[in-house]
Amino acid sequence: MAIALGVYTLGSFAVATFVGLLTYLTYQLLSRYLHKWSEMKAIPGLEGTYPILGNALQFKTNAGDFFCQLVEYTNQFRNAPLMKIWIGPVPFIVLFHAETIETVLNNPKHMDKAYAYKFLHPWLGTGLLTSTGNKWRRRRKMLTPTFHFSILTEFLEVMNEQAEVLIEKLEKQAGKGAFNCFNYITLCALDIICETAMGKKIYAQSNYDSEYVRCVYKMSDIITRRQRMPWYWPDLVYYFLGEGREHNKSLKVLHSFTESVINERAEYIAYIESDSESDQGMKKRRAFLDMLLKTTDEDGNKLTHKDIQEEVDTFMFRGHDTTAASMNWAVHLIGSHPEVQKKVQQELQEVFGQSDRPINTEDLKKLRYLECVIKESLRLFPAVPFFARSICEDCHINGFKVPKGANAIIMPYALHRDPRYFPNPEEFRPERFLPENSEGRHAYSFIPFSAGLRNCIGQRFAVMEEKVVLASILRNFKIEATQEREELRPLGELILRPEKGIWIKLEKR
């Protein structure tokens, strides 16, 4: 009887302890939530904000509808210095003015990515895109030399070769009426990143139904949907009631692909390092992966296999999807503006004449108007339409107090339409980026590759690839867009993509 009583007493104590702990944690979370709610009350925000759920019930579930909704909000609050939304119990301030964006991006205290990035961790780990603090600083320092211009120029040969394959594919469509070019350009970008990042030819352009590409798109859609539905944030709920199974199925394909390439390349490097003749051959065409396998930190430590996997997955996603989308938007805009296309082709004629030779580094420097076209395309359709940071200490943004723990959404799509810096912002005018027209423009008014300390490490690679591929297309074809801009309907997911592709007609030159 005494033993039973003791067990009962012990059990009661355990239950009481658990209830007490749960009550304490609930109190702490609720008090933090109420504190942020009170601190941020003065910031302009959406109507119909509910406690705990915030504005989540107002958001459209379709990616295209949601993006249109977000753009409408920024138009509604265009004259306000910032805007507040609540996604569940998490507060976000939306920034789309150069002055307020600079306050966040130029402050080393606010370098951590926002809470929503945690849903990228199963796929990309904590590599350069998603890592924070000292890990990010060490990794950025280690990887910066691999993006040196002298190394990037070695990749020109790959870009030219894959652009040539693209031209062969497009020639079969020339003169045959309208077709969707989106997948053609995307697979070209995938071939380029696979060979430059991993040293592996995968012949994606010859395999139109790439499982890897399909899973990238599927994963992007799954993650962004989860990010705007706070009831799916807890893993337990997500994997039982949400899209957890579909998420893991796509994840397996993505990781298997990059993991097999890493193992294959590591074995290849080990083999050729024992053979001086093979080593000479390899040096002619390095890959980012080769450098990752040999890179060491300040203490002489090499990256682990997990570290390398994180960066390769990040390079593969950010290195092909963003550039592919950017080139497709540019093709549509060039095909919609014959006068711009004519100027680009005049410039190409001056640089190349009738020659069909590959593009070299000197040519890239001379393609100044094409670079303006690329920048103006990125202004109207930035590959990353929004990104987010965590506010890591209490601060004031344009007179409003923003507490530690809030998140900032930076919206280049809306920022790039600020009429103070880009009059008639919806017009496609590449001349905006000529040196004489860019002088005095706010440094944070145009940020297609982010800005500040965490700007995109691969932006020179991206612009180089865009120049090579777009120049190759325009040296061979005249482009005619068959969609009005209103028909494109951008999907604001992790990458800005048109819902129904990019439809064009090509005429051989």
Q: In this structure, which amino acid lies at residue 28? A: Q
Q: What is the pLDDT of residue 368?
A: 97
CA distance 321 to 319: 6
**356 pLDDT more than 80:** yes
DSSP secondary structure string for all residues of 80-104: SS-EEEEETTEEEEEE-SHHHHHHH
Assign 19 a pLDDT band (cuts: 50, 70, 90): low
Mean predicted lDDT score pLDDT of the chain: 87
In Å, how far are 191, 228, 343 from 58, measured between CA atoms?
Answer: 40, 10, 45
Is 194 within any annotated ligand binding site?
no
Name which residue leads in pLDDT, 475 or 317. Answer: 475
Total Cβ atoms within 10 A of residue 476: 19
**6 pLDDT more than 60:** no
How deeply is 176 buried, as exposed, middle or buried, from its count of CB atoms within 10 A (0-12, 13-18, 19+)?
exposed
What pTM was computed for the model? 0.88
Residue range 40-508, CATH number: 1.10.630.10
Strands 407-410 and 90-95 turn out to be parallel
**146 pLDDT more than 90:** no
CA distance 160 to 351: 16
Name which residue leads in pLDDT, 10 or 131. Answer: 131
DSSP secondary structure string for all residues of 24-80: HHHHHHHHHHHHHHHHTTTS-B-SSPBTTTBTGGGS-SSHHHHHHHHHHHHHHTTTS
Q: What is the pLDDT of residue 423?
A: 96
pLDDT per position as a tens digit, 433-477: 999 999 999 999 999 999 988 999 889 999 999 999 999 999 999
260 within 8 A of 91, measured Cβ to Cβ: no
Q: What is the pLDDT of residue 244?
A: 92
**207 pLDDT more than 60:** yes
Q: What is the pLDDT of residue 298?
A: 67
Q: What is the pLDDT of residue 1?
A: 57
Helices 459-476 and 156-171: crossing angle in degrees, nearest 10, is 40
Q: What is the pLDDT of residue 22?
A: 58
433 within 8 A of 421, measured Cβ to Cβ: no
Assign 270 a pLDDT band (cuts: 50, 70, 90): confident
CA distance 473 to 470: 5
pLDDT per position as a tens digit, 101-132: 999 999 988 888 888 889 999 999 998 888 88
Mean pLDDT along residues 262-267: 83
Q: What is the pLDDT of residue 66?
A: 85
**277 pLDDT more than 60:** no
Mean pLDDT along residues 386-393: 90
Q: What is the pLDDT of residue 463?
A: 95
Q: Can you give the residue ranges of every domain in the chain?
A: 40-508
**35 pLDDT more than 80:** no
Nearest to 469 by CA among 377, 390, 382, 403: 377
- Helix, strand, coil % in the chain, rounded to nearest 5: 60, 10, 30
